[in-house]
Every structure is written in C-alpha cells, then in structure tokens.
C-alpha cells in the first residue's frame, strides 16, 4: 500500500517536476535580463506551468483512458445488450442536459465503470465486462447514471482546475520559501544559492503531497454527489444495490492509475492513508444514500 501511495504521488507530481526544472533553468536568465521574477512575472510563469500539465492531462484524458484500459467505443451495437446500453446513455444524457457521451466497453473481470473527457458535451462513459456479468440491469442503470452525473456535474473539469491552481501555488510558494531559507539558514548572498535549489526541491515534494491530499479530498466528496445523481436517474434502491454489489468485490480496484479516480470503484484506505485515497468507503456512500444525503 505504501508503495502504491508513493507511486501515486510521484505520478501526480511528474509533470509538475519536469515543468519546474525548465522554470528553474530559465529563472536565472530572466533575472539576468532585468526581469523581476518576484512579482507579477513569477505568477504568470507559475500559472502557465502549473496549469499546463493539468490542462494537457484533461485534453488527452479520453484518448489515454481508451488506450490504458483497451476500451472500445461502441459505434454500432452488435447485440441487444449494447443496444440497451447505448439507449440508456442517450436517455440519461438527455435527462441531465448534456451532449450524448461516447460509450465504450472494456474487458475486465472487475465490476467497474468510469467517465472522463474534456467537457460536458464531449465525454466518455465506459463499463467493464465484469460489471455487465455481475450486475442486473437495474443496478447497471444506476452505475451508468453515476457516471453521467459526474459528467453533468463537471467533476473532471473541476478536478483538473483544482489540480492546476494548486500546482501554481506549489511553484510560487516553494520559491518564495526557498529564497527565505537560502538567505536566513544558508546565509547566501547570491540571488540563487545552492540552498535555494535544495529547498525548492524539498518544498515541492512536501507541498505537492499536501496539494494531492486536497485534490483527493475533493475527489472523495464528488463521489457522494455522483451517487446522488445516479439515485435520481435510476432510483435510490438501485444505486444502493449497485454499491452493495461493488462492496462485495474483494481486492483493490484494477483500473489504471490515470483513470482510477474516475471509476465508480476506486482505492480506499484507513487512517492517514485515507487522506490520499480517491474514493470514500463503500459503506459510507451507502449510508449517505440511505440518509438522503
């Protein structure tokens, strides 16, 4: 579990670190050119670099999800089940007022589903073969409703913007604090002494982990909203039944890391580990629905 958490954090910060290396290289050059990077310029650069990775990730989310899961978009239904599913997605999309998402099926024994996409009108909903095998249609309808609700709520876009804003603050704050530490602790008289670069690297790791905790807290919160949306579209009893079926599945979620946060079933944990999990416990989600939350 600790290895998975470490891998998640490193994956989440990879783009940010690469962009920061570039920024660290051009920052002294900007100073040499007489550009004051302590004021508006550093914020502009940080915003461009901090949001850059997040926006690139959002733009490529659909393509990467299809490639990482091997999901195939259903263009023409080949059987009655595919026809029913496509009609279901169209009907639910119309009910919530969004463009009809692409619908895909991917091969996996694990009952799961996910939604992703760069906008509410150009999204993707995918379900696993395991979901279709283990759930009756009324529960599948609730799961699809959960994913359609994610799209309607704009969760993917909001999550991306939140990550981008936090990336920006990590870049700026690590540099501000890095300069303070370089001058106060390392007693450096240079604009960018060794202590500055060491401090920035350490601070980016620490602040990056804290940023990831904030993003995962939002991810967990949005699951409750999507469950409520699925209940409205397919019935509260069906949504509860679908979650109960998912709760009986043993082992961790098998979706790739890049998609797992968008699955109906994802990683959960206890104690400090729970702060870096993308989903709340199934039991808590069921209780929220039973209490009408």
In a domain, 120, yes or no: no
| For the chain, percent of residues with pLDDT exceeding 90 | 32
Determine the pLDDT at residue 201: 85
The DSSP bridge partners found for residue 103 are 125
Determine the pLDDT at residue 128: 92
Q: Which two tokens stand for residue 136?
A: 């009756």
Burial bucket for residue 149 (CB in 10 Å: 0-12, 13-18, 19+): buried
In a domain, 111, yes or no: no
Sign for the pseudo-dihedral over CA of 39, 43, 44, 45? positive
In a domain, 87, yes or no: no
Active site residues: 147
Number of domains in the chain: 1
Q: Which of 22, 17, 230 is nearest to 140 (CA)?
A: 230
**Order of strands across the sheet that contains 123-128:** 72-73, 102-106, 123-128, 113-117
Query: Which tens digit of pLDDT belongs to each residue from 182-211?
Result: 777 877 676 667 787 888 888 888 988 888
Written as one string, the DSSP assignment of 60-94 is: THHHHHHHHHT-EE-SS--SHHHHHHHHHHHHHHH
- Nearest 5°: the CA angle 138, 110, 253 is 115
Residue 134, SS3 per DSSP: helix
Under the banding of pLDDT at 50, 70 and 90, the label for residue 8 is: very low
In a domain, 101, yes or no: no
In a domain, 217, yes or no: yes
Sign for the pseudo-dihedral over CA of 247, 252, 256, 258? positive
**Least confident window among 149-153, 247-251, 288-292:** 247-251
pTM comes to: 0.79
- Domain carrying residue 34: 1-69+138-293
In a domain, 147, yes or no: yes
In a domain, 257, yes or no: yes
What's phi and psi for 73, nearest 5 deg? -70, 130
Written as one string, the DSSP assignment of 214-230 is: HHHHHHHHHHHHHHHHH
Which is higher by pLDDT, 29 or 133?
133
Report, as an integer, the average pLDDT of 265-289.
Answer: 82
Determine the pLDDT at residue 13: 53
In a domain, 246, yes or no: yes
Decide if pLDDT at 230 tops 80: yes
Q: CB–CB of 131/114 below 8 Å?
A: no
């Amino acid at each position: 579990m600790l290895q998975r958490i470490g891998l998640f954090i490193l994956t989440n910060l990879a783009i940010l670190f690469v962009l920061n290396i570039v920024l660290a290289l051009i920052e002294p050059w900007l100073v040499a050119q007489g550009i004051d990077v302590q004021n508006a310029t550093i914020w502009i650069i940080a915003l461009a670099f901090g949001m850059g990775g997040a926006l690139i990730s959002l733009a490529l989310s659909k393509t990467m999800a299809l490639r990482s899961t091997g999901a195939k978009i259903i263009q023409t239904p080949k059987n009655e089940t595919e026809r029913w599913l496509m009609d279901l997605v169209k009907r639910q999309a119309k009910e919530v007022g969004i463009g009809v998402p692409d619908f895909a099926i991917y091969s996996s024994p694990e009952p799961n589903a996910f939604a992703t996409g760069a906008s509410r009108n150009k999204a993707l909903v995918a379900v696993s073969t395991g979901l279709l095998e283990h759930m009756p249609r009324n529960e599948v309808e609730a799961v699809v409703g959960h994913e359609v609700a994610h799209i309607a709520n704009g969760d993917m876009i909001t999550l991306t913007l939140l990550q981008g804003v936090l990336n920006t603050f990590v870049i700026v704050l690590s540099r501000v604090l890095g300069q303070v530490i370089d001058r106060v602790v390392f007693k450096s008289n240079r604009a960018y002494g060794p202590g500055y670069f060491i401090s920035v690297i350490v601070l980016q790791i620490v602040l990056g982990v804290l940023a990831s905790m904030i993003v995962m807290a939002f991810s967990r919160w949005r699951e409750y909203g999507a469950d409520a949306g699925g209940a409205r579209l397919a019935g509260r009893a069906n949504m509860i039944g679908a979650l109960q079926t998912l709760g009986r599945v043993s082992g961790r979620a098998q979706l790739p890391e890049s998609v797992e946060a968008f699955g109906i079933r994802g990683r959960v944990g206890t104690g400090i580990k729970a702060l870096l999990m993308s989903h709340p416990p199934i039991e808590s989600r069921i209780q929220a629905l039973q209490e009408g939350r």
